């Protein structure tokens, strides 16, 4: 399995500002994913981030609001832009490890964001 870290672990931000969340993995991976988990809800996939290409966003998420960078095979960032209280959530990254015929995803510990 992978060791995945996220920074910051939590933050409190004012509306209208932006926050960049970092995701670091201890080995090279091709596919990384970003999720949002709103209070009391399940996880929702935001986007898929492959190194060397633009992130692919899920329906309801746009690059202007959630720009993603993937500069190398061990690192990615997610920015939450122009924040509002509705953006208060836990943001999680995950990485995919491929086996012979299947794969597994491993998740980071999450970043708990509160927007006031």
CA angle, residues 1, 33, 84, in degrees to nearest 5? 130
Asked if residue 107 binds other proteins (CB under 8 A), the reply is yes
Collapsed DSSP state (helix, strand, coil) of residue 67:
coil
Closest CA to 46 of 85, 54, 88, 37: 37
Asked if residue 109 binds other proteins (CB under 8 A), the reply is yes
Contacts of 99 (CB under 8 A, 6+ apart): none
Stretch binding other proteins (CB under 8 A), from 11-19, 63-71, 73-81, 97-105:
97-105
Q: Binding marks (x or -) toward other proteins, 27..46, rule CB under 8 A? A: ----x-x-x-x----xxxx-
Contact pick of 48, 69, 74, 81 for other proteins (by CB under 8 A): 48
Q: How far is the CB of 95 from other proteins (least distance, A)?
A: 11
CB 109 within 8 A of CB 6: yes
Q: How far is the CB of 37 from other proteins (least distance, A)?
A: 7
Asked if residue 8 binds other proteins (CB under 8 A), the reply is no
What are the tokens at 31? 């596919």
Which residues partner with 50 through β-bridges?
31
Which residues contact other proteins by CB under 8 A? 1, 4, 31, 33, 35, 37, 42-45, 48, 58, 90, 92, 94, 96, 101-110, 112
């Amino acid at each position: 399995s992978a060791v995945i870290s996220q920074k910051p672990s939590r933050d409190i931000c004012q509306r209208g500002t932006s926050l960049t969340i970092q995701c670091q993995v201890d080995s090279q991976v091709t596919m990384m994913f970003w999720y949002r988990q709103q209070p009391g809800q399940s996880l929702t996939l935001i986007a898929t981030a492959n190194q060397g290409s633009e992130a692919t966003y899920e329906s309801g998420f746009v690059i202007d609001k959630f720009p993603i960078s993937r500069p190398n095979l061990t690192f990615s960032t997610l920015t939450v832009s122009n924040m509002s209280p509705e953006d208060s959530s836990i943001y999680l990254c995950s990485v995919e490890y491929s086996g012979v015929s299947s794969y597994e995803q491993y998740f980071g510990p999450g970043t708990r964001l509160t927007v006031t």
